[in-house]
Amino acid sequence: MAFAMARPSPGKPAMTKSSPPQPDLFSFDVHKRIGTARGAFELRAALQLRRGDCLAVLGASGAGKTTLLRLLAGLAAADGGHIHAFGRCWLDHPRGFSLPTRKRRIGYVFQDYALFPHMSVRGNVRFAQRRDSPAQLADRLLETVGLSALAARRPAELSGGQQQRLALARAIAAEPELLLLDEPLSALDAGLRRSLQDELIALRRQYGLTTILVTHDPGEAVRLAGRAILLEGGRIVADAPPAELYGGRGEALTLGGRVLAVEDGPDGVLYRIDADGRALLARAAGGAVLAPGSVVTLTAERWTARPVGPGALHRAQPAQPPEQQQGERAE
């Protein structure tokens, strides 16, 4: 699997081992030896995130992605390094200090959700609340994720999508400084995955969550994260916006969007498109004529072709036949 190699952008804070904890930064520099069926290797990763950032962690199975999350959560012991979280020290291995997981202010959504089967839906969320949290927080979160009517049920009585919503609500109930997501949507079908991505975007914005997401889904990384790292053999080999990392794969990547405006470009008509809050420019595929408000599918055949703000030059095609879209306008 080939990825476009990318250097960290100049706007990212520099990573230094001597940097003291800062209130708006999450930083780590950790390493751990990992044994696998194919042999042992050392996971070594260091970077910084600003408060509210969303980082996607990409890489093949066995690259160290889940182990990295477990190190940050304190669920696995590091062989060395440090973790500083928004002004607090979580790990200082040289001094022999490691803050217990329960004190790290994290929310963690596992691949299998790890819900408490003997508790009700409401009980799962309340269990995660901090002691000083408002009593109504659990009910407010259940309403946000659409589970209020199912609050008395047990997790086994929920569908896969409902269990995923419950896992998200429980993670956010902890009022985390850091939200860790380990492929939480991988077991769901494409339609439900898209819907829950929308919910996750809304929840992140509502609560200002700093998030680290492990995913194998290119579209998910592009939709949810502003930055991505690629792990290979326990090392960070690329660090860039997700779209740029996928730029060298030689395969199509798709996003949904809506045409905002029609513009004249040097090589013909361009369409400015809102793709999940990201401003992108695209050419129409196959000679299609698009109107403002048209719902389109963006195919990113070469994401790094021409950067335009936070996006790049794409190719767009109607999500429905063009004649059904001419009268459609953005809401």
109-140 residue pLDDT tens: 887 778 989 999 999 999 988 888 887 888 88
Which residues are 182's β-sheet partners?
A: 214
**pLDDT higher at 105 or 256:** 105
Query: Could you report the per-residue pLDDT of 19-61, keeping only the tens digit for each?
Result: 566 788 999 999 999 987 777 899 999 999 999 999 999 888 8
Query: Could you report the per-residue pLDDT of 62-96, keeping only the tens digit for each?
Result: 889 999 999 999 999 999 999 999 999 999 999 99
pLDDT > 90 fraction of the chain, expressed in percent and rounded: 34
What is the predicted pLDDT for the residue at 63? 87
Domain boundaries, given as residue ranges, for the chain: 25-34+41-248, 254-324
Between CA 323 and CA 326 the distance in angstroms is 6
**CATH class of segment(s) 254-324:** mainly beta
Give, to the nearest 10 degrees, the angle between helix 160-173 and helix 137-144: 140
- Its pTM stands at 0.69
Q: What confidence tier does 307 reach under pLDDT thresholds 50, 70, 90?
A: very low
CB atoms within 10 A of CB 103: 10
| Least confident segment among 263-272, 290-299, 320-329 | 320-329
Residue written as tokens 């994401």? 303
Q: Tell me, which fold does domain 25-34+41-248 have in CATH? A: Rossmann fold (3.40.50)
